[in-house]
Structure 1
Amino acid sequence: MKIKSQRDFGSAIMFIVIGVSFAIGALNYTFGSSARPGPAFFPFGLGIILALLGAVVLFTSLTIESEDGDPIGAIAFKPLFIVLSAFVVFGLALPRLGMVVSLPILIILSALAGEEFHWLSAIIMSIALTVLSWAVFIKGLGLTIPLWPAFMG
């Protein structure tokens, strides 16, 4: 059998491996019932759905012809490093600086990884996502995420 789209084939393998890993990892927790789902319910279901999506993409990568075999390009290490670093900075900053400071830092640092970075759009997006995150996680779900820096009380 010939791989007709290398990109889709690589994506499919990644989806299947991650989905199966999540489903297997969820087996260490209790499922509960459909009325009262346990901690394994969501990651197991999400892992199965991701693996099924990977199977569909795998099927299309083997059956649908693409131009030049759709080769996988070089890995963009610089953007990958920038985005991963932004998440590490966010994880370290959130308990100390709060969501109002650390989330815009995450968004602006992540935006630096793109080829078309614009300060104005990054600032507008960080304000909008910070307000939305506050509404969803703090007001809506009632999570105890520090909103302001620790030195402000």
Structure 2
Amino acid sequence: MKIRSQKDFVAGLLLILIGLAFAVGATDYSFGTAVRPGPGYFPFGLGIILALLGVVVLLSAFTSQRTDRTDGDPVGRIPWRPLLCVVGAIVFFGVALPRLGFFISLPVMIVLTSAGSREFSWRDALLNAAVLTLASYAIFIYGLQLTMPLWPAL
């Protein structure tokens, strides 16, 4: 069998690995039942679905009908700046939320994530931060009534 798309092959492998990691990690939590799911129910199911999606993408790497290349799509360089900005912003949010609160950590996370783009502009990043923070407040705090610190603890 010949790999016709290197990008699909690598993407499929990554989806399978991440999905299986989530599914295995979820086994440390109780599953509960379908009526009353426990904390491990959703991440386990999501991990399995992600791994199955990875299998589909991986198999498409072998069955791609593209005729413009015989050696498959090359993977190319790893985009380090967006990768580090997004991962760093998520880690920042996880660490900062209990200390700085929702209204500081979420907008800063959005601006840090936006900094990974080549088209970064402060105006767009701040506008996105404001809109997404208000929408997140409406959905998670007001709508779903989740309890989390809104402001820094004094």
Using structure 2 for the length normalisation, give the TM-score: 0.88
Q: Do the aligned partners of residues 40 and 91 (structure 1) sit closer, same or farther apart at CA in structure 2, a change above 3 Å counting?
A: closer
The Cα shift of 1:37 comes to 1.2
Q: Is the contact between residue 98 and residue 146 of structure 1 (CA under 8 Å) also seen in structure 2?
A: yes
The Cα shift of 1:11 comes to 0.6
Q: Which amino acid aligns with 1:99?
A: F
1:54 corresponding residue in structure 2: 54
2:41 corresponding residue in structure 1: 41
Deviation string 1:98-148 (CA, Å, 9 cap, x unpaired) is 211221111111111101012222111111110111112211222221112
Is 1:101 aligned to 2:125, yes or no? no
Q: Which amino acid aligns with 2:3?
A: I
- Between 1:59-68 and 1:109-118, the stretch displaced more is 59-68
Distance 2:31 2:96 in 1: 33
Using structure 1 for the length normalisation, give the TM-score: 0.89
**Identity score, percent:** 53
Distance 1:116 1:123 in 2: 14
Q: Which amino acid aligns with 1:29?
A: Y
Runs of 4+ in 1 over 3 A off after TM superposition: 65-68
Distance 2:93 2:38 in 1: 29
Q: Is the contact between residue 82 and residue 109 of structure 1 (CA under 8 Å) also seen in structure 2?
A: yes
The Cα shift of 1:78 comes to 2.3
- Specify every segment of 5 or more residues in structure 1 that has no aligned partner in the other structure, as ranges: none
Distance 2:99 2:31 in 1: 35
Deviation string 1:72-118 (CA, Å, 9 cap, x unpaired) is 01112222222222233323332232211221111111111101012
Distance 1:83 1:31 in 2: 30
Q: Which amino acid aligns with 1:48?
A: I
- Specify every segment of 5 or more residues in structure 2 that has no aligned partner in the other structure, as ranges: none
Distance 2:94 2:29 in 1: 25
Distance 1:28 1:94 in 2: 24
Q: Which amino acid aligns with 2:6?
A: Q
The Cα shift of 1:149 comes to 2.7
Match of 1:116 among 110, 119, 124: 119
1:11 corresponding residue in structure 2: 11
Aligned length: 151
